[in-house]
Amino acid sequence: MRQSPRCGAKTRMGTPCQSPAVSGRKRCRMHGGAEGSGAPIGNQNALKHGEYTREAKAFRQHVRELLKDGKEMLDDF
């Protein structure tokens, strides 16, 4: 156990982690060497929703202008 390679990831204290690395990996189980660690494939949190695309902004601006024109026409009556 003492001869096994060490993780070496930087801890909160700024010192290298002294835990043994997972076999076949460079990091310990707490710093990314565990099975299944890391971001999921096809991360759903990173999907774009399209609310701020050029077309969406132009559409919202057009709707605002139509509403403003409609209010002005109603005020003229």
Reduce the DSSP state of residue 23 to 3 states and report it: coil
59 located within any domain: yes
Q: What is the pLDDT of residues 27-60, one digit of tens each?
A: 999 998 888 777 777 777 777 888 999 999 999 9
Q: Which residues span the domain enclosing 59?
A: 51-76
State the total domains in the chain.
1
Q: Has residue 65 got a pLDDT over 80? A: yes
The reply to whether 6 falls in a domain is no
Residue 71 in domain? yes
Asked if residue 68 is part of any domain, the answer here is: yes
Q: What is each CA distance from 47 to 21, 42, 44, 60, in whole angstroms?
A: 33, 9, 6, 22
57 within a domain of the structure (yes/no):
yes
Residue 66: inside a domain, yes or no?
yes
Spatial separation of the C-alpha atoms in residues 71 and 77, rounded to whole Å: 10
Answering whether pTM is above 0.85, one says: no
**Mean of pLDDT values over 5-10:** 92
Phi, then psi, of 66 in degrees rounded to 5: -65, -45
